[in-house]
């Protein structure tokens, strides 16, 4: 696994709602787009479409190379937000849109910020936070969107 991914800040405890502020920036996550990452995550998500693992067939179908599938992107987005929020965060809505393909030998950098926070806790003592994010590569925005999550209203867990 890439050193850049391994060294990304993983939070071992869960943030509490009162630790989060609207406008807060999440630390960026740099993801080297290796051929192995693209192929292995497509296979792990049971996406056997040839455009995700066979460069020659991907080119025949009009692409410049193999490219990452949406399930892999979705997984990286979820991981990006939960690494910031901590292991007890509950993702309730992931609303993303794909743009430029993630091709091998490029890098995708995920950035984001907190765009809203519901101060009220639900019956389980959790409050909602919304993060707006962007994942850009050398061609432009690969993914943009929002993720809503629930965090405990009290101290970090």
Residue 91 domain-assigned (yes or no): yes
- Report DSSP state, residue 50: G
Instruction: Give the percent of the chain with pLDDT over 70.
Output: 91
What pLDDT is stored for residue 2 in this prediction?
Answer: 47
What pLDDT is stored for residue 155 in this prediction?
Answer: 57
Total domains, the chain: 1
Confidence of residue 156 (pLDDT cuts 50, 70, 90): very low
Residues spanned by the domain of 100: 3-152
What pLDDT is stored for residue 121 in this prediction?
Answer: 66
| Tokens 């430029």 -> residue | 100
Model confidence at 139: pLDDT above 90: yes
Alpha helices in 1-135 (DSSP H): 3-6, 35-44, 55-60, 70-85
Model confidence at 7: pLDDT above 60: no
- Exposure string of 13-46, with b = 16+ CB inside 10 Å and e = fewer, is ebbbbeebeeeeebeebebbbeeebbbebbeeee
Residue 38 domain-assigned (yes or no): yes
d(CA 8, CA 140): 22
Instruction: Give the percent of the chain with pLDDT over 90.
Output: 78
- Rg over alpha carbons for the chain, rounded to the nearest Å, is 17
Q: What is the mean pLDDT of the chain?
A: 91
Please state the rounded mean pLDDT for residues 95-110.
98
Q: What is the pLDDT of residues 22-57, one digit of tens each?
A: 999 999 999 999 999 999 999 999 888 888 898 999
What pLDDT is stored for residue 24 in this prediction?
Answer: 97
Residue 157 domain-assigned (yes or no): no
What pLDDT is stored for residue 57 in this prediction?
Answer: 93
What pLDDT is stored for residue 12 in this prediction?
Answer: 83
Residue 96 domain-assigned (yes or no): yes
Q: Which of 67, 8, 72, 60 is nearest to 35 (CA)?
A: 67
* CATH number for the domain harbouring residue 12: 3.10.129.10
What pLDDT is stored for residue 67 in this prediction?
Answer: 94
Model confidence at 1: pLDDT above 50: no
Residue 20 domain-assigned (yes or no): yes
């Amino acid at each position: 696994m890439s050193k850049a991914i391994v060294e990304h800040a993983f939070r071992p405890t869960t943030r509490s709602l009162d630790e989060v502020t609207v406008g807060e920036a999440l630390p960026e996550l740099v993801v080297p787009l290796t051929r192995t990452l693209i192929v292995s995550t497509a296979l792990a998500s049971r996406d056997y479409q040839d455009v995700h693992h066979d460069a020659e067939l991907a080119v025949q179908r009009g692409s410049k190379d193999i490219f990452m599938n949406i399930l892999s992107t979705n997984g990286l987005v979820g991981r990006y937000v939960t690494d910031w929020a901590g292991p007890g965060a509950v993702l309730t809505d992931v609303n993303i849109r794909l743009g430029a393909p993630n091709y091998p030998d490029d890098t995708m950098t995920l950035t984001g910020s907190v765009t809203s926070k519901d101060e009220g806790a639900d019956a389980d003592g959790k409050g909602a936070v919304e993060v707006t994010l962007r994942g850009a590569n050398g061609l432009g925005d690969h993914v943009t969107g929002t993720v809503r999550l629930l965090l405990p209203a009290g101290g970090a867990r």
